[in-house]
Amino acid sequence: MRVLSVVLAATLTLTACGPTNSASSGDCPNGRVRFGVEPYEAPDKLKPAYEVLAKALTTKLGCEVELQIVDDYAAEVLAMRNGKLDVAQFGPLGYVFAAQKAKAEPLVSFADGTGKLTSYTAGIWVAEDSPAQKTEDLAGKSLALSSVGSASGDALPRYGLKKANVAGVKLDYAGGHPEAILALINGKVDAAEINSQQLATAKAAGTFDSSKFRQIWKSEPIPNDPITVRGDLDPAFKDRVRKALLELSPGDVEKVGAFLDVTPPGPLVQVNNDTYKVLFDLATTLGLKEEDV
C-alpha cells in the first residue's frame, strides 16, 4: 500500500492585492478565500500564472484570495475536507474523490476561444526505435507514470493496460508529468505517460523532440480540470464565486490555460457532476479508493 502525504507541505502562498469591490469580511469565509491548486506542473511555474487568476478573482469577488499550490493530490482533498480550502482546482480524477470525501462542488472549467469546454488525452509513449508497437508489447517493460491520483498520469494509463489485458508492467511513479517525460528522454524507462497538455508544454519549451518518440496508446478525451467550491459553504457565497469566475476575462485565465493546452482561451464555462461522469465510472471500473489518490 502506498503511503501518501496528507500534509500541505511546502505550499506556496500568495496573498493577493486587497479587493477593490466593497465587501465586508463577513461576506468571505474567515475574511478571505483560500484557493488551492493541484500540483500538475512545477510550483514555481504554476505560481505566476495563478497569481494573475487569483488577483482577477479578488477583484471580481470582493474577497482577498489566498493562493496555495498544494503538495500532492491527496493533500488537496484532505485540505478541503478539513475546511482549509474554500475553492480548489482539482484534476478530473482528484475531483471524483474530492466530491465524495470533501463535498467539493464543480463550478467552472476551461473553454477555448469559441466557448467550448476543452479536454485533453492521456497517452503512452516509447522511443522511436523501441520494438513496442502497442500496449500489449509493454508486458515485462517499465512504464513511468506521473503521480498517484492523476487521471492522465496514473489511472487512465493503467486502465488502458487493463483493457488490453497486459500484465507484468513495472510501474514507476516519477513524481509528476515533467518527471515522467524526463525518465523516458533519459532512457530510465521503456515507456512513459505523456498527456496532451504536457506534450504541448514540453514541445513549446523545446524540452521534448516528438520525432524521437512514438505514441502507442491514447485515451478518450477527458474534460478539463474543474474549479470547485467546498459544499458546506453558504449557498449565496457559492453563487457569488461561480458568478465571479464566469465573469473573468480570457486574459485573466490565459497563463493558466497555456499549461492546460487551452490556446487561445475563452471565458470559463459552467460545469457540473455530469460533466465528469466518465471519471466517476473510471474510478468504479478500476475499484479506486480514496487511498489510491
- Residue 293: per-residue pLDDT: 55
Dmax of the chain from CA atoms? 64
CA distance 143 to 173: 8
The domains spanning 12-117+223-292 and 122-219 adopt the same CATH topology: yes
Give the whole-angstrom CA distance, residue 118 versus residue 126: 26
Q: Render pLDDT for 235-280 as a digit per residue (tens, 0 to 9).
A: 999 999 999 999 999 999 999 999 999 989 999 999 999 999 999 9
Query: For position 10, what pLDDT does the model report?
Result: 34
pLDDT reported for residue 40: 85
- Exposed, middle or buried: residue 76 (CB in 10 Å: 0-12, 13-18, 19+)? buried
Cell of residue 42, nine digits = 512545477
Q: In the chain, which residues have pLDDT < 70?
A: 1-26, 290-293
Alpha-carbon distance of 24 to 41, in angstroms, equals 35
Beta strand pairing call for 170-173 and 142-145? parallel
C-alpha cell at 135: 500496449
Does domain 122-219 sit in CATH 3.40.50.300?
A: no
CATH 3.40.190.10 fits 12-117+223-292, yes or no: yes
CA-atom Rg of the chain in angstroms: 19
Can you read off the three cell numbers belonging to residue 207? 524540452
Return the pLDDT at 290: 62
- Identify whether the C-beta of residue 156 lies closer than 8 Å to the C-beta of residue 121: no
Q: Single out the residue of 267, 255, 261 nearest to residue 121, CA to CA.
A: 261
52's grid cell: 494573475
SS3 track for the chain: CCCCCCCCCCCEEEECCCCCCCCCHHHCHHHCEEEEECCCCCHHHHHHHHHHHHHHHHHHHCCCEEEEECCCHHHHHHHHHCCCCCEEECCHHHHHHHHHHHCEEEEEECEECCCCECEECCEEEEECCCCCCCHHHHCCCEEEECCCCCHHHHHHHHHHHHHCCCCCCEEEECCCHHHHHHHHHCCCCCEEECCHHHHHHHHHHCCCCHHHEEEEEECCCEECCCEEEECCCCHHHHHHHHHHHHCCCHHHHHHHHHHCCCCCECCCEECCHHHHHHHHHHHHHHCCCHHHC
Q: Which is it for strands 269-270 and 104-109: parallel, antiparallel or unpaired?
A: antiparallel
Q: Enumerate the domain spans of the chain.
A: 12-117+223-292, 122-219
Grid coordinates representing 284 are 468504479
- The whole-angstrom separation of Cα 58 and Cα 219 is 36
The pLDDT value recorded for residue 292 is 57
In this predicted structure, what is the pLDDT of residue 287?
Answer: 84
What is the pLDDT at residue 5? 35
